[in-house]
Amino acid sequence: MWIDTHCHLDAHEFGDESAAQAALAKAQGVGMIVIPAVETANFPIVAGLAASVDNACYALGIHPIYVPNAKEDDLRVLREQVAVAMADPRFVALGEIGLDFFIPMLTEPAMREKQVFFFREQLKIAREFELPVLMHVRRSQDVILKHVRQIPPAGGIAHAFNGSDQQAKMYIDLGFKLGFGGAMTFTRALQIRRMAAELPLDTIVLETDAPDISPSWVHPGRNSPDQIPRIGAVLAELRGMTVEQVATATTANARAALPRMLLK
C-alpha cells in the first residue's frame, strides 16, 4: 500500500473528477491521500472531499501563496475550525503552511513580514492542538528552520524537499519527514536524487503535490495521485531496493508523521 502525503485533490485542474481521481489512485494501491487546505475558503471543500471518498484525509491551514489575500481574522477562523475538526478522524494536520521566498511579489519586505507572521501564528495553533504540520519551503529553508526551532510543532513533513544535506539533517533532528515526489524522477535533478538515495529510509515520505510537480513521464501534463506507485518505483531504483520495501517503509513513515491518520 502507498500513501500520497501531499495532493491538492480539490484543485480546479481536477474539475469534477476529484473523487474519480481518488478511486483511480486506490485501484493503483494508494490507500490514503492527504489533502492540504490553502485558504479559509477551501476548508469545507477539503473536509467534504475527504469525507466523500474512502482513501483521503485532510489538513487545515493558510498557504504562503494565499497570505497576500489573507486577513488576520482568518487565523481566528482557522483556530476555530481546527478546534472543531479535532473530533473528525479524517483531520490529520495543520497545513499547508510555510514561507515562499521565490515568487517575487512574496519577497517584498512587507509581504515577507506578513508571511512570517502567518507562519508563526499557525505554528502556535499546531502546538496548541499538538498537531503535525505540512510545510511549503521554497527558498526559505533556513528561515523556516529558525521559526520551527522557536515554536516546535509535533513534527510533520517538509514537503517537496529541495534543501542541502545539512538542512535535511536539521529537519530530521527536529522530528520532520522529508517529502519526495515528481522532482526526483528527472535525471537532471542530481542533488534531489542523491539525497533520495542516501537519506535514512525512515525519513522519507512520498507525495505527488498533484496537480503540480508532474513526474518526468507526465510532464508537462497534470499530475495525479495514481502516479505514486511509479514515483515510488523510481525511489526503489535509486536506493537499490524492491518496490515492496519502499511502499512498506514510506507508508510507515507517513503514519509516524501523521499519527491521526487512520488506515484500513
Residue burial 66-98, b: 16+ Cβ < 10 Å; e: rest:
bbeebeeebbeebbebbeebeeeebbbbbbbbb
Question: In the complex, which residue's CB is closest to Zn ion?
Answer: 96
Q: Please report how close the Cβ of residue 241 comes to Zn ion at its closest, in angstroms.
A: 27
What is the per-residue binding string for Zn ion in 164-193, x denoting contact by CB under 5 A? ------------------------------
Considering the complex, state which of residue 55 and residue 208 has its C-beta at the smaller distance from Zn ion: 208
Ligand-binding site membership of 159 (annotated): yes
63 is in an annotated binding site: no
x-or-dash string of contact with Zn ion, 40-79, rule CB under 5 A: ----------------------------------------
Asked if residue 12 belongs to a known ligand binding site, the reply is: no
Q: How far is CA 4 from the centre of its chain?
A: 9
* DSSP secondary structure string for all residues of 38-82: -SGGGHHHHHHHHHHSSSEEEEE---GGGGGG--THHHHHHHHHH
Nearest to 224 by CA among 233, 215, 232: 215
Q: Which is nearer to Zn ion, 85 or 160 (CB)?
A: 160
Least Å from the CB of residue 222 to Zn ion: 15
> Dihedrals φ, ψ of 177, to 5°?
-95, 160
For residues 121 to 160, the per-residue mask of contacts with Zn ion, x marking binding by CB under 5 A and - elsewhere, is ----------------------------------------
Within 10 Å of residue 169's Cβ, how many Cβ atoms?
14
Rounded Cα distance, 190 and 143, in Å:
24
Pattern 77-116, Zn ion, x by CB under 5 A = -------------------x--------------------
In the complex, what is the shortest distance from the CB of residue 189 to Zn ion, in angstroms, rounded to a whole number?
18
**Gap between the Cα atoms of 59 and 41, Å rounded:** 13
Given strand 2-4, what is the order of strands in its sheet?
A: 2-4, 30-35, 56-60, 91-100, 133-138, 156-159, 176-180, 204-206
Smallest distance from the beta carbon of 8 to Zn ion, in angstroms? 6
* Minimum CB–partner distance for residue 96 and Zn ion (Å): 5
In terms of DSSP bridges, do strands 156-159 and 56-60 run parallel, antiparallel, or are they unpaired? unpaired
Nearer to Zn ion, 133 or 238 (CB): 133
In angstroms, what is the minimal distance from the CB of 243 to Zn ion? 25
Q: How many residues lie near Zn ion (CB under 5 A)? A: 1
Is 96 labelled as part of a ligand binding site? yes
Task: Give the N- to C-terminal CA distance of the chain in Å, as an integer.
Answer: 10
7: which DSSP letter?
Answer: B
Contacts for 190 with CB less than 8 Å, ≥ 6 apart: none
Residue closer to Zn ion, measured from CB, 96 or 226: 96
List, as residue ranges, the binding site for a divalent metal cation: 6, 8, 96, 136, 159, 209
Interacting residue ranges for Zn ion, rule: CB under 5 A:
96
